[in-house]
Amino acid sequence: MEIYITNAIAGAVGQSVRILAGLKKAAERGVEFEGARMIETLVLGAVIGGAVGLFTNDPTMAFLAGYSGTDFIEAMARSYKG
C-alpha cells in the first residue's frame, strides 16, 4: 500500500510541474486562472501515479506518468467529445 501512496504523490508532483509551466504560459497570454481545473488535473496525476504502482515500484515512472499522462487522457477525452 505504501508504494501506491508514494507513487500517487510522485504523480501529483509530476503534474505540478506541468501546472507551473501552464501557469507561466497562461500569464503570458492573459488567460484566466481556473482553480478547479488545477485541482482536477492534480488529482488525475495522483491517480495515474498510483496506478503506475500496479506495474512498477519506481516513483520516477510515476512522476513521468503524472507529468505526461494527464495530457494524454485529456486529449483522448476531447477526441471522444467531438
pTM: 0.83
**Running DSSP on this structure, what letter comes out for residue 58?**
-
Give the count of alpha carbons within 13 A of 30, CB side only: 0
Q: What is the tens place of the pLDDT at every residue in 28-63?
A: 999 888 899 899 999 999 999 999 988 998 999 999
Per-residue pLDDT, 65: 93
Cβ neighbors of 51 (< 8 A, separation 6 or more) are 65
Write the single-letter amino acid at 55: F
CA 46, CA 48: separation in Å to the nearest integer?
A: 5
List the Cα angle 16/63/38 in 5-degree steps.
Answer: 25
Classify 55 as helix, strand or coil.
coil
Provide Rg for the chain, Cα atoms. Answer: 13
